[in-house]
């Protein structure tokens, strides 16, 4: 039983808080503290993220912050998950929230070998600052960002501790206060590296946007119409783009991009390293706030370019004149001016083999009302709740889940109503609590577990979301019942 657990400090790794608890608990060995913290007391602690923790500890942490905030503010999820494809990013976050230990399958994690083993790092000046404010220091997330050598706040080199990030040795909890030895400060004088470090830190601190916009589409839109793209912005001049990028970072020795193919993969959205993406964004003048939000303009460059050609043609200019003004070819201006360019290939043509392809746009429009109806039936707001997922909707409509990538409208409708396990359990608890009250039956934790077919530790994960589905009085009653 945990009698006391320390408050989480700003930007503190969750592992660090567990280590501080071990120091203050009075336990002589790791395994004794691990029984209070982890569901499996023999587990090797995940330093950068988290392992499944006990219901008792979870309920204590939930008094400090919501579980989602703990994941985003006290693990390395924003660094490794921010720029993943939307569904993969959401899968990683759901895995961390549910603690099913599958998050590393989705996250973009660097491979560590014997030649590049990583250790927990710290900034001596931050340590001194922590001790002045809190009376002790702790492991900061900002200092554990892969490939960042200097402290974003003080510009000095980070120092390796003796604690391996991924150790296969005996498990343990090692606090910063008891592990830090050297306090020697070495200042980095590279202005570009300091600027990049501060940029990445600012980006890391910002909320991970739940958006379907892909980072490489956003970055491409920002360079559209410059010398790095064709006049309309469809094609990239990757060689020129890469040359100027390398010249900009010529004074930075730790540039992870050294070859053209590496740069092309990054700007084409096939590499998800936050550092590489931030370097490109900084180079083309995108702010950390803009990169975090990934908000596309209301009118894309290609649309504005086509509109400009049509307007010039309507004003009476000839196509050679329009081509000279816009920088596009004569033939292209003629196609646009005549309104003959098809942005999308509507209506599928017969393939060479004579077999007609699927008209996904038409199927998408036809299925959308059925998807909306299926979502409503599955949720069943007037009866026992059902959980809306891609699989449950596909099963209800008797279609394959593999069709979703081609059904844009249907996919967005399901994503809009997609429900995490935590929210689903919250709705179930509210439904059965009210049902038993109305029928005059006793409401107990055991009764809720039987009716929802869920374990207590799972139901506790739904407690923070109760007020989304009922009044505050009912939510408080269920919360008191579950956490008593």
**pLDDT over threshold 80, residue 347:** no
> Can you give the three-state secondary structure of 70-102, one letter per residue?
HHHHHCCHHHHHCCCCHHHHHHHHHHHHHCCCC
Long-range contacts of the stretch 427-430 (C-beta < 8 A, 24+) = 427/385, 427/469, 428/384, 428/385, 428/452, 428/454, 428/462, 429/459, 429/462, 429/463, 429/466, 429/478, 429/482, 430/466, 430/469, 430/470, 430/474, 430/475, 430/478
Q: Is the pTM of this model over 0.75?
A: no
Local confidence band at 342 (pLDDT 50, 70, 90 cut-offs): very low
**pLDDT tens for residues 270-300?**
999 999 999 999 999 999 999 999 999 989 9
Residue 268 has pLDDT above 60, yes or no: yes
Taking the C-alpha atoms of residue 281 and residue 284, their distance in angstroms, rounded to an integer, is 5
Our CA angle for 28, 34, 37, nearest 5°, is 130
d(CA 6, CA 33): 14
pLDDT of residue 167: 67
Say what the pLDDT of residue 345 is: 37
- Please report, for the chain, the start and end positions of each structural domain, with discontinuous segments joined by +: 14-179, 209-293, 301-337, 360-417, 421-483
Q: How many of the other CB atoms lie within 10 Å of CB of 416?
A: 10
CA distance 157 to 153: 11
Q: Are residues 108 and 84 in contact, defined by beta-carbon separation less than 8 angstroms?
A: yes
What pLDDT score was predicted for residue 379? 85
Report whether pLDDT(409) > 70: yes
State how far the Cα of 161 lies from the Cα of 120, in Å rounded to an integer.
6
- Residue 346 banded pLDDT, cuts 50, 70, 90: very low
Of the candidates 159, 169, 114, 120, the one whose C-alpha atom is nearest the C-alpha of residue 141 is 120
pLDDT tens for 415-451 read: 888 888 888 899 999 999 999 999 999 899 999 999 9
How far apart, in whole angstroms, are the C-alpha atoms of residue 371 and residue 396?
Answer: 9
**pLDDT interval class at 119 (50, 70, 90):** very high
Give the pLDDT of residue 33.
93
- For residue range 220-250, list pLDDT tens digits in order: 999 998 999 999 888 899 999 999 999 999 9
Q: Across the chain, how many H-helices and E-strands are there?
A: 25, 2
Rounded average pLDDT over 150-154: 95
User: ∠ at Cα 217 (77, 313), nearest 5°?
Assistant: 160
Q: What is the pLDDT of residue 114?
A: 53
Average pLDDT for 89-110? 86
Position 348 scores a pLDDT of 42
In this predicted structure, what is the pLDDT of residue 115? 54
The number of beta carbons lying within 10 Å of the beta carbon of residue 46 is 19
At 101 the pLDDT is: 80
H helical segments located in 398-470? 408-417, 421-439, 445-452, 456-462
**147-161, 165-179, 187-201, 353-367: lowest mean pLDDT where?**
353-367
Instruction: Please state the rounded mean pLDDT for residues 167-184.
Output: 89
pLDDT: is 35 or 3 the higher one? 35
Cβ proximity of 23 and 53 under 8 Å: no
- pLDDT, position 117: 83
Q: Where residue 344 falls among pLDDT bands split at 50, 70, 90? A: very low
pLDDT at 349: 47
CA–CA distance, 310 with 338 (Å, rounded to integer): 8
Q: What percent of the chain has pLDDT over 90?
A: 57
Distance CA 263, CA 31 (A): 46
């Amino acid at each position: 039983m945990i009698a006391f657990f320390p408050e989480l400090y700003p930007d503190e790794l969750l592992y660090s808080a567990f280590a501080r608890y071990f120091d203050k608990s009075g336990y002589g060995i790791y395994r004794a503290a691990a029984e209070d913290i982890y569901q499996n007391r023999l587990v090797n602690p995940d330093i950068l993220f988290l392992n499944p923790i006990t219901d008792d500890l979870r309920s204590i942490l939930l008094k400090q912050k919501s579980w989602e905030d703990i994941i985003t503010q006290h693990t390395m999820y924003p660094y490794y998950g921010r720029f993943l494809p939307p569904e993969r990013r959401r899968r990683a976050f759901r895995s961390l929230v549910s603690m099913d230990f599958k998050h590393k399958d989705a996250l973009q994690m660097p491979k560590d070998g014997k030649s590049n083993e990583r250790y927990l790092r710290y900034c001596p000046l931050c340590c001194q600052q922590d001790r002045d404010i809190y009376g002790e220091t702790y492991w900061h997330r900002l200092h554990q960002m892969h490939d960042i050598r200097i402290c974003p706040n003080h510009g000095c080199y980070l120092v390796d501790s003796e604690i391996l990030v991924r150790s296969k040795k005996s498990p343990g909890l090692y606090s910063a206060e008891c592990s830090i030895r050297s306090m020697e400060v070495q200042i980095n004088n590279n202005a570009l590296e300091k600027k990049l470090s501060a940029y990445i830190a600012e980006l890391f601190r910002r909320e991970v946007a739940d958006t379907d916009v892909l980072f490489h589409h956003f970055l491409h839109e920002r360079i559209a119409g410059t010398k790095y793209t064709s006049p309309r912005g469809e094609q990239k001049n990757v060689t020129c783009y890469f040359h100027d990028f390398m010249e900009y970072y010529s004074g930075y020795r730790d540039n992870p991009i050294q070859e053209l193919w590496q740069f092309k993969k990054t700007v084409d959205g096939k590499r998800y390293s936050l550092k590489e993406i931030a370097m490109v964004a900084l180079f083309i003048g995108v702010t950390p706030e803009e990169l975090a939000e990934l908000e596309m303009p209301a009118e894309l460059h290609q649309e504005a370019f086509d509109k400009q050609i049509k307007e010039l043609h309507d004003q009476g200019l000839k196509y050679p004149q329009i081509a000279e003004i816009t920088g596009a070819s004569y033939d292209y201006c003629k196609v646009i001016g005549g309104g003959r360019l098809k942005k999308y290939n509507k209506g599928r043509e017969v393939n060479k083999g004579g077999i007609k392809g699927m008209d996904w746009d038409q199927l998408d429009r036809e299925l959308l009302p059925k998807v909306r109806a299926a979502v409503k039936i599955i949720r069943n707001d007037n009866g026992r709740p059902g959980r809306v997922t891609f699989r449950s909707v596909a099963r209800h409509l008797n279609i394959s889940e593999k069709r979703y990538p081609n059904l844009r409208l249907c996919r967005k409708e399901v994503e809009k109503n997609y429900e995490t396990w935590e929210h689903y359990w919250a709705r179930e608890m509210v439904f059965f609590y009210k049902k038993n009250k109305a029928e005059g039956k006793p409401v107990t934790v055991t009764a809720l577990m039987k009716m929802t077919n869920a374990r207590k530790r799972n139901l506790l994960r739904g407690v923070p979301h109760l007020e989304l589905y009922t009044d505050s009085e009912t939510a408080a009653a269920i919360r008191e019942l579950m956490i008593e």
